[in-house]
Amino acid sequence: MFWQHLLPSRRLLFQCPNFFGNGVVHYGEKLLLDVQMKSSRCSREREEAKSLLLHSRRSIMDLKEYFKRIGFTGLYDKADLPTLCTIHKLHVMTVPFENLSIHCGEKNTLDLNVIYKKIVLDHRGGWCFENNLLFSWVLREMGYKFTMLGTKDCNLLKNDSNPMESHLINLVEIDGKPYIADVSYGVSDQMWEPLELIAGKDQPQPPGVFRLLKDGESWTLEKTGRKPLIQNEAFAKCSLVNKPLTKTMFSFFLMPRGTDQFLEASEYLQTNCESLFTQKSICSLQTPTGFRALVGCNYSEVTFNPQEDVDLYDMRKIPDSEIETVLKEKFNITLDSKLTPVNNKNV
C-alpha cells in the first residue's frame, strides 16, 4: 500500500542527509567534518570525526524543544489519533503561517535544520514547505506511520492549470485508517485537526466543513465556510473575505514525495510574479475563537460564529511604523530584517 513507502529510519536519515536536507549539510557540521577529515592521519580519527558529526546532527533537533515551542505537555508514548489531533491543533495555534522572509530579502529553504532553527528556536512561522516538512520530522520522531504528498493548490497561482505540486501535506496511518495532516494552509481555510481520508464525508471543524472528494485516483479537498460579516465596509472587497462559501482548496494523488521534489515549486513560488507569495506578504495564526491575519498592512481579527452561520471580520489598516509591534504582540514574531509589506490587490 502507498503508506508503506515511509521515510527512512533515523539511522538511515543520518547517513543520507539528502532526504530531508537537499544534500545541504549544516555549515557548522560541514566545517567540523572538513577540518577533522583533513587533519586525520588514521582511520580511527576519521571514524571519530564521523561519530562527532552524527552526534551533532542528533543534538541540533530536539523533539522536546518542539513540544515546548507549541506548548505540548502531555504524554507522547503512543502514536495514536488523540495525540496527533492535539499536536496538530497546538501547532496551528502557536506557529504562524507566514511568508515574511520573502519580503525581507531572505530565501526560504528546504533544509530541515534551518527550518527547525527558524520555527522552533527563533520562534518564527513558515509557509507550507517549512511547517509541514517540520511536522513530517515530528511524526517520524513520535513513531507515526506517514508519507509526504504533494498537492496542486487552487489558490496560489493566477494560472489554475499550472501542473506544479505547490503544496506539501502529510498522510498519516493510524490503526489502519489514513488521515490528512496539514498544519500550514493558513487564514480561513486552515484545518485545526487531521481529516480522515474518506470520500464524500462532511468533516466539520471550527473554520467550516471540510470534505474530501474522489475521482478515480485523484482526491480533492473542498471547504464550505460561513458568510463573512465585515465591520468596516472599506474592506468589503478584500481578497481575504471575497470568496465563494464553498471552494476547492487543492487536489492530490496518493503518490509519495521526497523533499527534493518540492525544490522547483519552492523556488518558483518565492520568485515568480505569478505567485501569491511574491504579491502578498502574509502572516496568519489560528486562535481559540477564529484567526488573525496580517496581509500587507491590512490586519484582521476574525471570530467564528457557527451558531449564526457567520464569521465576524474586524479589519483595519496598520501604519508602517506599527508593523513590527503588531507582529510581536499578535504573532509573537520578531524579524531580523526589514519587512516590506506587500498586498497586490490584483491577486
Count other Cβ atoms within 10 Å, centred on residue 142.
18
3-class SS of residue 275? strand
CB burial of 2-24 (b: ≥16 within 10 Å; e: otherwise) equals: eeeeebeeeeebeeebebbbbeb
* C-alpha closest to that of 273 among 344, 187, 186, 339: 344
Decide: 168 and 133 in contact? Cβ < 8 Å: yes
Decide: 248 and 220 in contact? Cβ < 8 Å: yes
Decide: 49 and 33 in contact? Cβ < 8 Å: yes
Active site residue ranges: 128, 167, 182
* C-alpha closest to that of 93 among 222, 302, 284: 284
